């Protein structure tokens, strides 16, 4: 018994005619008849009752056809898995990322994903929130880290990243348990410009406040160096902070503020198997951090 014979059997059952089945699968009427006859001979049973109006399954034929359908469905699933695996192994994923994710989350994710799919190629594009959004919409990258939610994009949430107030270690407010935006609004402010300025500016505005922005700086290391030197204070996400800090004080905000980091694509339904696998692994890695 072959898969082809099962396909012909199901086609005849669904069509109710050898002729119509042949038209459906691209086989002549005599070819269909020969295939069914050979199958009946091999099984030693009659599968169909033939009459002028067409053909009808026998009781045994109904059971055989039900099993044939199951086998064909499972075969289709096997082919789908094989196709997806081949696609995963041969794919290239273009990833958009912003600096704090590139430094703190992406290395572990890339290592883990490479272990799972060693033949897959990954390319990194680093930029600001706005650049990543544009790259996603124009197809420059397949998937991109972004502050969630983002209109016009789909994806998955990964991590809630708290915002912290950062001050010189000898600043009078450094001894407080927490700080409010109102307290920070009265200080010379260094505004992070890698994308967080939109979130931070919106929070000041929502509170009816205007920060005394003295400098606008994109590089996180430069921001921290300026705070250490006593140039001003800032608000930055926890993920941007180095593991060891000696000359600055890091305080919680009240009320707490955070940015939600997600992994975005243009469309989840149109995403490739490789991109979907990357999303799943990113969720697993982020849950452990």
Asked if the peptide bond before residue 255 counts as cis, ω within 30 degrees of 0, the response is yes
**Dist. CA 7–CA 119, nearest whole Å:** 35
How many beta carbons lie within 10 A of that of residue 270, not counting itself? 9
Sign of CA dihedral 248, 251, 257, 258: positive
Second-level CATH architecture of 161-258:
3-Layer(aba) Sandwich (3.40)
Q: Report the top-level CATH class of 3-89.
A: mainly alpha
Nearest residue to 101 via CA among 128, 122, 133, 123: 128
Residue matched to tokens 């009240």? 254
Asked if the domains 3-89 and 161-258 are classified in one and the same CATH topology, the answer is: no
Q: Where are the domains of the chain?
A: 3-89, 92-158+261-288, 161-258
pLDDT in tens, 161-194: 999 999 999 999 999 999 999 999 999 999 998 7
- CA of 267: how far to CAs of 18, 139, 140, 151, in Å? 43, 12, 14, 12
| Fold held by 92-158+261-288 | D-Maltodextrin-Binding Protein; domain 2 (3.40.190)
What are the tens digits of pLDDT across the range 152-165?
A: 889 999 989 999 99
Residue 20 pLDDT more than 60?
A: yes
pTM listed for this prediction: 0.64
Q: Is the Cβ–Cβ distance between 91 and 272 less than 8 Å?
A: yes
Task: Give residue-wise pLDDT tens across range 250-259.
Answer: 999 999 999 9
């Amino acid at each position: 018994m072959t898969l082809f014979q099962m396909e012909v059997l199901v086609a005849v059952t669904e069509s109710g005619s050898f002729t119509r089945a042949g038209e459906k699968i691209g086989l002549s009427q005599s070819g269909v008849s020969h295939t069914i006859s050979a199958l009946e001979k091999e099984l030693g049973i009659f599968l169909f009752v033939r009459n002028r109006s067409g053909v009808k399954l026998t009781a045994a034929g109904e059971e055989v056809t039900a099993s044939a359908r199951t086998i064909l469905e499972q075969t289709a699933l096997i082919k789908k898995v094989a196709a997806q695996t081949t696609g995963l192994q041969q794919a290239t994923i273009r990833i958009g990322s912003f600096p704090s994710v590139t430094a703190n989350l992406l290395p572990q994710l890339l290592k883990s994903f490479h272990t799972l799919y060693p033949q897959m190629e990954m390319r990194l594009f680093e930029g600001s929130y706005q650049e990543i959004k544009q790259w996603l919409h124009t197809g420059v990258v397949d998937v991109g880290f972004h502050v969630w939610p983002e209109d016009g994009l789909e994806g998955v949430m990964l991590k809630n990243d708290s915002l912290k107030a950062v001050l010189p270690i000898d600043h009078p407010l450094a001894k407080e348990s927490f700080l409010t935006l109102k307290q920070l609004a009265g200080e010379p402010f260094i505004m992070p410009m890698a994308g967080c300025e939109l979130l931070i500016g919106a929070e000041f505005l929502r509170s009816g406040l205007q920060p005394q922005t003295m400098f606008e700086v994109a590089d996180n290391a430069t921001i921290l160096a300026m705070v250490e030197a006593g140039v001003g204070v800032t608000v930055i996400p926890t993920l941007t902070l180095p593991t060891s800090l000696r000359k600055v004080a890091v305080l919680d905000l009240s009320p707490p503020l955070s940015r939600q980091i997600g992994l975005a694509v243009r469309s989840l339904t149109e995403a490739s198997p490789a991109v979907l696998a990357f999303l799943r692994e990113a969720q697993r890695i982020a849950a452990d951090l």
